[in-house]
Structure 1
Amino acid sequence: MELFKMAKEAINMRSKMKDIDNRLRDLVMDLEYKGIKIKVNAKNEFLSLNIPEYLLKEKKEKVEKLILSAFAEACKKAQNVMTEEVKKLTGGMKIPGL
């Protein structure tokens, strides 16, 4: 009897995890860092990158550093949003891997 209850809870948790995953994928953020525009979702999936023409005239090393910094900022923002959304959706329950 207890085994069936545990199985039902596992199925419910799996469904909830799928809902959380979909919600995070749909939560898209735009970030601009020193002219570089990045679109990322709350699952930390990068969707687009736009580098303005004037930056392409700069030294390669400078542009590379700016791009890396822009990606780091986007990752940080996505991680923060993901953490907050998961807290809301799970009622603060800790879920491994999220």
Structure 2
Amino acid sequence: MKNLMKEAQKMQAKMAKMQEELKTKQVEASSGGGMVKVTSNGQQEILEIIIEPSLLEENDIEMLQDLVLAAVNEALNRSREMAQEEMAKITGGLNIPGLM
């Protein structure tokens, strides 16, 4: 029982460290052939959105909204995948509900 508690504490420390590291890791996604770019960190926070200025000249707000939405969703998906990969390194690929 004592060893189990020690292992749980080690895993908890590794997870806390991983969460801190995920704040600094970034992923980027784009849409519209790179006209909209979104950067997210490993904690699913959007850090930056870049919109190609020529998109604004088209005055097509619906298209711009769709491109931003697509890029944001892709960035968040990539961020979640990155976090899951990092978690798998700690848990040895074991899927533990509620950890991510």
TM range, smaller chain: 0.7 to 0.9
Structure 1 stretches lacking a partner, 5+ long: none
Q: Would the aligned equivalents of 2:29 and 2:72 in 1 still touch at CA under 8 Å?
A: no
Q: In the alignment, what sits opposite 1:97? A: 99
- Deviation per CA, 1:11-58, whole angstroms, max 9, x where unpaired? 333312211201222211122222111111122111111111011123
Residues 1:53 and 1:30: Cα distance change in structure 2 (over 3 Å)? same
Residues paired across the two proteins, number: 96
Structure 2 stretches lacking a partner, 5+ long: none
Matched, 1:18 2:45: no
Give the Å deviation of 1:87. 0.7
Q: Name the TM-score, length of structure 1 as normaliser.
A: 0.80
Matched, 1:49 2:49: yes
CA distance in 2: counterparts of 1:88 and 1:33, whole angstroms: 30
Give the Å deviation of 1:9. 4.2
Residues 1:90 and 1:75: Cα distance change in structure 2 (over 3 Å)? same
CA RMSD in angstroms, aligned pairs only: 1.9
Relative contact order, higher structure (CA 8 A, sep 6+)? 2
Q: In the alignment, what sits opposite 1:70? A: 71
- Deviation per CA, 1:47-81, whole angstroms, max 9, x where unpaired? 11111101112311111111111111111111112
